[in-house]
Chain A
């Protein structure tokens, strides 16, 4: 099969929850003739959208896992990568951003640019993803695509211009005027599939001229040809399209489309926009890290003959067995090829190779560069790089934040226990921010993640997909301990138990360290501690950092300097100096005025201005700081910083305070000092727990 890579688009649909992303995804599949009936996300008929292929997502109306679906639009092929909408699943969003080349940024015509749109846009910017905007829900009361366009400019700083204007709005939305062709487009037939091109209605001609002029002025910045043609009045459609394409690809321009996915209006022009303005895989620069050469960046070429480099970005354990979704960045993948997993340092043979179109699947023999395919039965983790054995590359390692919340889970019976283990094994491979371990003290299984909802979703999935019934404990915040002042130590470890003894003396000081977890400084002069035992001291300090003596959480931000000590020619040993360092650390720690740190979340709440008082109050009651409040008409957005420990059950409380009209997003921001009264309570609680355990 010969394949024209320039006719391929890997696109994502990025949006705020409830801006109609899933509906739009489904409409896109529909217009590409892949599915035959249209269902609603929270379907009355219980069928649900095809992209949301997990039960739970259907129930909550949100999309959690990124599925890649291939569709054909006219003579082009799209891989549509559905990205999760909730910020709790940020790592999944970011992972999907790595594999897509362009995005449709969906916005609600009423809600406009909301806090999540800002997060999503920031992510797109970070990964340099060119985008086109789609203002959805133009059939809703209060729809105002022009306002949303202004918000794109003001709040997101995007150089956004309308390429369409609406014909009617709210329940009178009939179609759109294409400002490039200067034609009116109507979407007729049962599902809007019949596109009728007509002249612009007389009452809109003036407005259309005005917005076209704006568009051309902006687009001409990217094309001298267009600028000259404008002066001579010889502008052609191609010139405009080329100029917009240049601007969009360089992320300096964002064309704004509009319509209503729900009412089947405006989808076809949007799909044409994907073809016209978003890049094909050869137009995107992708880099890999050469593991044989100090992780030097290597530019990949989207070329079939080069060695294969591909990224496994999603695992799925579905009805067909284990599937790994793979984006091929360079070279190709053929059935029977041998590939090398550069993380696991393991070779494997490509067995079955398939292409997924949502819940259907077709067997293929070869995946070409730029394409997204799925492999069967490969043992790997999400985020692994697969290469030809001749190269040793890793796709850029993605930033993985530390989990901030943990939860103890206990299986209800033996069967659940086995299933739980299976599920956890799967989930931790899928999602690097989801971690699990067994607490050696309580012997309980602990799961850790990025937020309450994040963990909740996994507990639900255990139940549904693995039939593992578990009981959950109270969510626990991942506290840290740290010191606030310098303290000296001078500790001698001495032990005489027959045979050779242990001896080591370590002296120096510890001090607070900003922006780093730990540092060790060797200032020993004259060999009072021999060189061979210096690493032992480092090791001893490091070991002490694992568990602070205040409440048993890890210690961060400590710099240990050793400047004196003593050794014994016979009795000193590696272990003796480790023990001495541990003793020294213990001695100095309490003198260094240790404090407890807690995760502080950046909480952004959005809702009608009438509820502002309630919102301010709820932040204040939760030890939060109101950072700012932005009011725009009847809507306001409050930015605040609130300790994570105060955020449990927040969604329910916010809902009841604001009649369900406000919503919030939460992201980890920093670690902050716990106030004294709470810190004292935590220490007391920890001591009691320890006493109880010792009493057992």
Chain B
């Protein structure tokens, strides 16, 4: 019941609204921005939202420190639970992290197929991936072929994939090369505005969306609707 409350009022609902229903099985989305605007926070909110819905989440990072990722989940969860005045938050927390696996790769030595083979190994081991979150993927590893591999995996495993990319660009044309943007199902961009961080939906399934009312709270780093 309380979990349902968390789902209903999760900041991810706003994102879903802005992206015509959110990401579906088999789809791949990218969140882009300059360094330090809150990409990880958005990814963790998406991850937690999936966990509330009893989905299995695999979170991939490249900093060799799984503790770091787990702390992000702790902090964002605490923020979300605080806002909702949730009782028994502790129980829910220990309940949901059961479904989360953090994978760590060495940026220098890994390639996209090593992520896919680890995910398959997890599946063999009895852990199905419903949502895959990849934070901090190096630009040099991202090309059309990598996108195809992601898409193929998402289709095959019936999973959704979100990953982040650092970029200096601001528009659909400039954030990432066309060979990548054309293959993504959705692209969300964080833009620094004078008094706020605006979330712009650059693309959803072929459509471009001009304005969104999505913002990122500069204190809590949670998404909200203006």
Contacts and interface: CB of A to CB of B under 8 A. Distances in A.
A631 B127 contact: no
A612 B117 CA distance: 9
A167 interface: no
Contact of B125 (A154, A616, A633, A639): A616
Interface stretch (B44-52, B103-111, B169-177): B103-111
A616 B64 contact: no
Contact of B124 (A613, A625, A629, A639): A613
A617 interface: yes
Nearest to B105: A631
B98 A625 contact: yes
Contact of B104 (A609, A612, A630): A630
Interface in A601-631: 609, 612-621, 625-631
B118 A629 contact: yes
Given A613-B125, A619-B125, A630 B66 contact: yes
B125 A628 contact: no
B209 interface: no
B109 A616 contact: no
A627 B102 contact: yes
Interface residues of B, number: 23
A633 B109 contact: yes
Contact of B66 (A614, A627, A636): A627
Interface string B67-111: 001100000000000000000000000000110011111100110
Given A629-B104, A631-B105, A617 B124 contact: yes
Among A155, A627, A628, A639, which residue has the most Cβ atoms of chain B within 10 A? A628
A35 to B, nearest CB: 41
A631 B103 contact: yes
Contacts of B110: 631
Contacts, number: 71
Where chain B touches its partner, the secondary structure class is mixed
Interface string B150-188: 000000000000000000000000000000000000000
A613 to B, nearest CB: 4
Contacts of A625: 97-98
A496 to B, nearest CB: 46
B120 interface: yes
Interface string A629-642: 11111001001000
A629 B109 CA distance: 15
A626 B121 CA distance: 12
Nearest to B63: A154
Contacts of B69: 628
Contact of A616 (B97, B104, B121): B121
A631 B104 contact: yes
Contacts of B98: 625
Nearest to A157: B65
Q: Which of A614, A615, A629 has the most CB of B within 10 A?
A: A629
Contacts of B103: 628-631
Contacts of A628: 66, 69-70, 101-104
B146 interface: no
Contact of B106 (A617, A626, A632): A632
A639 B66 CA distance: 9
Contacts of B121: 612-613, 616
B107 to A, nearest CB: 10
Contacts of B64: 154-155, 630, 632
B122 interface: yes
A616 B127 contact: yes
B194 interface: no
A633 B109 CA distance: 6
B208 interface: no
Contacts of A617: 124-126
Given A613-B125, A620-B125, A632-B64, A626 B101 contact: yes
Nearest to B67: A628
Contacts of B122: 613, 616, 626
Contacts of A613: 120-122, 124-125
A536 to B, nearest CB: 34
Given A628-B66, A630-B64, A631-B118, A615 B125 contact: yes
A230 to B, nearest CB: 31
Contacts of B125: 612-620, 626
Interface in B52-69: 64, 66, 69
Interface string A649-665: 00000000000000000
Contacts of B118: 609, 612, 629, 631, 636
A695 B70 CA distance: 53
A633 B66 contact: no
A614 B126 CA distance: 10
B114 interface: yes
B66 A616 contact: no
Given A627-B70, A629-B103, A631-B114, 8 more contacts: A612-B125, A613-B120, A613-B125, A616-B127, A617-B126, A619-B125, A626-B125, A632-B106
21 contacts: A612-B125, A613-B121, A613-B124, A614-B125, A616-B121, A616-B124, A616-B127, A617-B125, A620-B126, A626-B122, A626-B127, A628-B69, A629-B102, A629-B103, A629-B118, A630-B64, A631-B114, A631-B118, A632-B105, A632-B109, A633-B106
Top 7 closest pairs, chain A to chain B, by CB:
A616-B125, A628-B66, A613-B121, A628-B102, A630-B104, A620-B126, A617-B125
